[in-house]
Chain A
Amino acid sequence: MSSYRRILPMDKSLVIEINNVYLKSDRRKQIFKNLDFKLTQGRSAVVYGPPGSGKTSLINLLLGLQKPSSGSVELFGENIGRSSKMKLNKIRRKIGGIGGMFELIPSLTVAENIAYPLVITGERSKIRKERLLKMLTEFSLIKQSAELPEKLTRVERTLVQFARASIANQPLLIIDEPSAGLDSKTFSRLSEFLVRASFSGRSMIILTSEPGTKQIPNSDFYQLKGGGVV
């Protein structure tokens, strides 16, 4: 385990802090009731919830796409609901997303999709190229680098998402249904990536509807139930 390089310092600051959140859907259905959730830097959470339990709503809350009716959602110490658009953008740059909500940008090639987080942060071209090459090699995407997403298989798209979520060493990963559409070999390979990410100090929140999802090191298991997290 000591061969894993730690990217981020292991401190105890909270990455995610959800306090007493109430959330209703557009149809007035109560999604969350008195939701409390905390995630410390370096720790991970596997959140299990059957379909319709609010996993997507939780992601929406974390990304600032939905505001709670009451309560607060804080990421990296910033209250998402009260942040300006500029601050919200800065917070989003610290998040790497994998899954249905984080589809690839259709008009960009694989290489451009992967490098996009570095483009937004204004990283120098030389470093961008170096990291891009590293990601393309690590996820075996060299051949597909000039392709548009529409030409990729489901597995390849997922690999690109993983690469994009790693290139900027984003301190928080949000992973929505990690095993969806993947064969066991690919999922096993990507699980290794998740383990490495965990040991490098990155925090992860993995949302899944499969109760058998393996836990990863430094992680806690939660369940969405009755509008809250248990």
Chain B
Amino acid sequence: MLRNIYRNPGTSLGSLLSLTLLFLLFDIFWISADTSDRFYSSLLSDLQMHAYLSESLTDSSAALLSSDLTEIEGINAIQLVSKEMARRELATLVGTDLLIGYDNNNPLPRSYILGFEPGYLTVSKMEKIESEIISLPNIDKVEYSRQWLQKAEFTRSIVLKIGLALGGLIMLTTLITFGNSVRLMTRARAVGFTQMRLLGAGRMFLAMPFLLEGFLMGSVSAALGWGTIIYFYNRIAFRQLEIVMPTMEEIVLFCLAMGALGILSGFVGVRKLLK
């Protein structure tokens, strides 16, 4: 195997560089996807639902309602906003001039502000929670940033689909690129392989160097890609944005997986040799 690389440095270097660039592209997308996912998660964590109480509800009944709300699956925080608190909040937003005449008559309803566990911040689960809340007595209205949540979820799903498509495309390109270069090498050495078979060399004996070379190409290219990113990451200060990098274990696993992909492409390249 090393003899193959030593005697064909141009081909080996070409394969290595092209695979490294492909993996670099994938790695950048992986980081972007993780970072945007973390960003969305942090935004979503601030998502709250307002459950507005009917005017006729007494304070004691409101307390009972609070325990009913707490029992709903997914809700992990509950805070009562009294009419006075609502008025003060509104005054902060619009100023007190607009509220002249409403000193003795506060039309703003009481409400509960609800917080949620991270796993429940999806459109479908929020709609389910909303329907449960609205079915409770003395709840007039439920409000939350439904449209924003829908857009966030849609964007997340698009990023995931693009990531999967890009990842699949890159894997396929790797498979074809390296497989083709192995196929060309075996074709160039067809006479040699025929002679080796006549001397008693088995098919796996002949194919093994290519499979090992595939593993080496895949894993080293992946490692070089990550090495490049880590090198620049440590040198560029990202103040405005928190970049999410995979863990070292994930990187090592990725490199090994790409090594396995290299073995597969080597196998694709020598398939004819194995017949």
Contacts and interface: CB of A to CB of B under 8 A. Distances in A.
Interface string A79-90: 000000110011
Contacts of A93: 199-200
Contact of A107 (B189, B197, B199, B202): B189
Contacts of A212: none
Contacts of A94: 200
Contacts of B199: 92-93, 97, 116-117, 120, 164
Given A105-B196, A107-B7, A120 B191 contact: no
A138 interface: no
Nearest to B206: A120
A120 B198 contact: no
Contacts of A97: 198-199
Nearest to A96: B199
A101 interface: yes
Interface in B49-84: none
B200 A89 contact: yes
A89 B201 CA distance: 6
A92 B196 CA distance: 10
A51 B235 CA distance: 75
Decide if the interface of chain B is mainly helix, strand, loop or mixed. helix
Contact of B200 (A106, A107, A108, A117): A117
Interface residues of B, number: 14
A4 interface: no
A89 B202 CA distance: 6
Contacts of A63: 198
A210 to B, nearest CB: 24
B196 to A, nearest CB: 6
Interface in A175-228: none
A135 B202 CA distance: 25
A101 B191 CA distance: 11
Interface in B195-251: 195-203, 205
Interface of A: 63, 85-86, 89-95, 97, 101-108, 116-117, 120-121, 164
Interface of B: 7, 189, 191-192, 195-203, 205
- Per CB-CB distance, the 10 closest pairs between chain A and chain B, nearest first, are A93-B200, A92-B200, A105-B192, A89-B200, A89-B202, A105-B195, A120-B201, A107-B192, A106-B192, A120-B200
Given A105-B196, A107-B192, A120-B201, 16 more contacts: A63-B198, A85-B202, A89-B197, A89-B200, A89-B201, A90-B200, A93-B199, A94-B200, A97-B199, A101-B198, A103-B195, A106-B189, A107-B7, A108-B192, A116-B196, A120-B199
15 contacts: A85-B203, A86-B202, A89-B201, A93-B199, A94-B200, A97-B198, A101-B198, A105-B196, A106-B189, A106-B191, A107-B192, A108-B192, A117-B199, A117-B200, A121-B200
